[in-house]
Amino acid sequence: MLVISLITTVFIVIATLLPMSKNPHWIVRGMDFPRLQIAILAAGLIVFDFIFLDLTLSITWLVIIAALFCLIWQVMWVLPYTFLWRKEVLSSTVDDPLRQLSIITANVLQTNHNSAALINRVNEYKPDVLVTLESDSWWEKNLEVVENEMPYSVKCPLDNLYGMHVYSRLPIIKEKISFLVEDGVPSMHLCIELRTGDVVNVHFVHPAPPSPTENEESSERDAELIIIAKSVGETDEPVIVTGDLNDVAWSRTTRLFRKISGLLDPRVGRGMFNTFHAGIPFLRWPLDHLFHSPHFTIKNIKRLSSIGSDHFSLFTVLIFNPTKAKQQEDITADEQDFHVADEIVAEQPVNTNDVPTLNE
């Protein structure tokens, strides 16, 4: 029993220590993802140790203390995404359809051909905006039916798992498709006019992940997220950033993105809303995100049922209410954060001017 406990403890300690490194290798950055699972494993190990190990031995207490440290450390990262944390975004107290902006963010999985399921979700929830990720020409053709009620669209069909489509009931005033860091990996930058006449900058993103089949390091993903954050942080206009970031909500990179951009995360204090992997219940984490400026409060955020993809879709309803902006606090960047952001961006041939600012 002691050998089993020792092996498991060593694994948990390594998995906990690796993300502390700034190394961008996919194995290191991949350990950002299963923090909840590691915390659960550590808690179970502590119970196992108390039941099966000899508590009179020093080594028993050594493994218990090591597992306890890992448990506390991992919980610290995921705790903000539970009901135990203070909500970062105010719940809407105003039910004004004119000020509402609802979005479905859907990574459809290019090889998934269950378009009917997504169309059913659109008909059921009637979002103002639908963004599809991994959508190719097949998906474009099969989603033509949604254009009857969502006549405004921007389309970038690709067969490399990075196609992207946006459909909107609300007018798209300006639009730009960019390939900020990697050829073949687009992002969309739109100005959408609300029913009140106010204009919102919306950035739709899907950077490539660090993985053995994609990029060996997270450098490209991190640079795309941070360059958008730096651009967003320079404006006082209403802003939304949504998409599959291929990063979890609690990672250092996503936290740095929030600090530099000044955007809020409506999941803080409400839940994790794990959207991936839809087919593996015990290995799920929040990969699909929506961040917004303090101009908005939240009416609803919900993970939708399966559409046959490896991702669940995310449905978010915001209320444009800039009078509440000063009552909502983001996490503040310090000098070191800006230094780290500059280092990340410097590794790739991209700068802030590459991110479209269409309403200026």
Q: Is residue 212 part of a domain?
A: yes
67 and 101 assigned to the same domain: no
23 and 171 assigned to the same domain: no
Q: For the domain that residue 144 is a member of, what is the CATH number?
A: 3.60.10.10
Domain encompassing residue 43: 2-81
Query: Longest Cα pair distance anywhere in the chain, in angstroms?
Result: 72
40 and 184 assigned to the same domain: no
259 and 150 assigned to the same domain: yes
Q: Is 35 helix (H, G, I), strand (E, B) or coil?
A: helix
Q: What pLDDT is attached to residue 357?
A: 80
Q: How far apart are CA 332 and CA 294, in angstroms?
A: 13
Q: Is residue 302 part of a domain?
A: yes
Domain limit, last residue, from 81, 111, 142? 81
CA distances to 63, 81, 173 from 88, in Å: 36, 10, 30
Q: Given the DSSP bridges, would you call strands 100-107 and 129-133 parallel, antiparallel or unpaired?
A: parallel
Helix segments in the chain, DSSP class H: 2-17, 26-30, 35-52, 58-78, 115-125, 137-142, 219-232, 252-261, 335-346
Domain limit, last residue, from 24, 48, 81? 81
Q: How far apart are CA 293 and CA 86, in angstroms?
A: 18
138 and 227 assigned to the same domain: yes
Nearest of 226, 207, 196 to residue 295 by alpha carbon: 196
Q: Is residue 29 part of a domain?
A: yes
Q: How far apart are CA 291 and CA 187, in angstroms?
A: 15
Q: What total of structural domains would you count in the chain? A: 2
Q: Is residue 119 part of a domain?
A: yes
Q: Is residue 150 part of a domain?
A: yes
DSSP state of 296: E
Residue by residue, pLDDT tens for the chain (360 residues) are 888 999 999 999 999 999 999 899 999 999 999 999 999 999 999 999 999 998 999 999 999 999 999 999 999 999 999 999 999 999 998 788 999 999 999 999 999 999 999 999 999 999 999 999 999 999 999 999 999 999 999 999 999 999 999 999 999 999 999 999 999 999 999 999 999 999 999 999 999 999 988 889 999 999 999 999 999 999 999 999 999 999 999 999 999 999 999 999 999 999 999 999 999 999 999 999 999 999 999 999 999 999 999 999 999 999 999 998 889 988 889 999 999 999 999 989 888 888 888 765
163 and 72 assigned to the same domain: no
Q: What pLDDT is attached to residue 350?
A: 87
Q: Is 152 helix (H, G, I), strand (E, B) or coil?
A: strand
Q: How far apart are CA 61 and CA 77, in angstroms?
A: 25
Q: What pLDDT is attached to residue 359?
A: 62
At a CB cut-off of 8 Å and minimum separation 6, what does 116 contact? Answer: none
54 and 181 assigned to the same domain: no
104 and 73 assigned to the same domain: no
Q: Is residue 86 part of a domain?
A: no
68 and 159 assigned to the same domain: no
134 and 269 assigned to the same domain: yes
Provide the whole-model pTM. Answer: 0.95
11 and 131 assigned to the same domain: no
349 and 304 assigned to the same domain: yes
Q: Is residue 360 part of a domain?
A: no
Domain limit, last residue, from 81, 115, 139? 81
Q: Is residue 91 part of a domain?
A: no
